[in-house]
Structure 1
């Protein structure tokens, strides 16, 4: 009987396993991209032009850019997990700072009306609300 117990104990991994990051991260990124697109589509359906320099921002542009920059966030989270003693904290602070910096161009676009600026800010926040907590939870 003691032999089977030692076999089971020996079969257990000797190192702590890391929670998966990339696959769930891509799911968070996809969710964020969908959220940004839904926000933009709803605002556009309500009558906002979503124009910058006279050209409307395509809805697919919200999807694509949200996804691409979320993947950059996944790469940052992976780097912090590898090289930081406190990856969740460092990632959260870095992501918050990058979110704040990403809002500046939205505020400073002279060719955009108020509705477009507010929509751009709302899409950034919608993506961040899904991606940042999702990735942070994978870093604990």
Structure 2
């Protein structure tokens, strides 16, 4: 190589090194902290998804079973919902890290089943537009897609 040729790493290997460093950092943190960080990321992404849906005209009004009319989902509603329900997942992850032989596998199976069951809520929501039901169901998948892999990766490393 000549003295004038810059010695740089390709961009892909640089970003790969950063993501590897970040993953290792999360692998050494307490399970509860990784759960909280994953939850915050999932809540932000899910709220952004909800805002985009709202921006393209999906009505954000939903009714609970037994309600006579739909009420508007407020801005921040997706974020708050993810935070609320993720507490269950964090408690589950901490318990599995402490007592399970294969915590990552049990966590993934359990949370995927719970995510699938959670999609029944939007499907049966009365007085709710079909487009809203679809957005709500997909928002459950969005949150799960962000949170579950991060927590499962942490659980695959035995340190609680």
Alignment correspondent of 1:9 = none
Alignment correspondent of 1:89 = 105
Q: How many corresponding residue pairs?
A: 124
Alignment correspondent of 2:76 = 60
The separation in 2 between residues aligned to 1:27 and 1:18, in whole angstroms, is 13
Alignment correspondent of 1:7 = none
- Identify the range of structure 1 (115-124 vs 49-58) with the bigger mean alpha-carbon deviation: 49-58
Alignment correspondent of 1:21 = 31
The separation in 2 between residues aligned to 1:39 and 1:18, in whole angstroms, is 30
- Verify the 8 A CA contact 1:77 1:87 in the aligned structure 2: yes
Alignment correspondent of 1:51 = 61
Give structure 1 regions of 4+ aligned residues with deviation exceeding 6 angstroms: none
Mapped pair 1:69 → 2:85: yes
The separation in 2 between residues aligned to 1:109 and 1:69, in whole angstroms, is 18
Post-superposition shift, 1:110?
2.0
Mapped pair 1:103 → 2:113: no
Post-superposition shift, 1:19?
4.8
User: Which protein has the bigger helix share?
Assistant: 1
Partner SS state of residue 41, structure 1 = helix
Mapped pair 1:138 → 2:154: yes
The separation in 2 between residues aligned to 1:59 and 1:96, in whole angstroms, is 26
Q: TM-score, normalised by structure 2?
A: 0.73
Mapped pair 1:79 → 2:95: yes
Mapped pair 1:30 → 2:40: yes
RMSD, matched Cα: 1.5
- Verify the 8 A CA contact 1:30 1:67 in the aligned structure 2: yes
Mapped pair 1:113 → 2:129: yes
The separation in 1 between residues aligned to 2:73 and 2:29, in whole angstroms, is 37
